[in-house]
Amino acid sequence: MSAITNISAHADYHRSDYMFSRTQSRALSQREWEHPTPALRSWGNVLIPAMTAAAAMTVALAALY
């Protein structure tokens, strides 16, 4: 019967072990098309401030005349 002297759960894992070279490579993630422009804003986010500003300008112009 041989004695087991070194029992370990350690394994040498590297980042490359979890990546597909075609779809997740660092070189491809640095390409221009991987960082798209921000999404367009919703009409609700644009319309409410615009109407508020227009109403404020109308009140200000009415106060001047």
Q: Is the CB of residue 50 less than 8 Å from the CB of residue 56?
A: no
Q: Average pLDDT over the chain, rounded to whole? A: 77
**What totals of helices (H) and strands (E) does the chain contain, helices first?**
2, 0
Using pLDDT thresholds of 50, 70 and 90, give the confidence band for residue 12: confident
Its pTM stands at 0.39
pLDDT computed for residue 17 by the predictor: 74
Greater confidence, 4 or 63?
Answer: 63
Greater confidence, 60 or 28?
Answer: 60
Q: Which helix (H) or strand (E) holds 62?
A: helix 43-64
Q: How many whole angstroms separate alpha carbon 53 and alpha carbon 59? A: 10
Greater confidence, 16 or 34?
Answer: 16
- Looking at residue 31, the DSSP 8-state letter turns out to be S
Radius of gyration of the chain (CA): 31
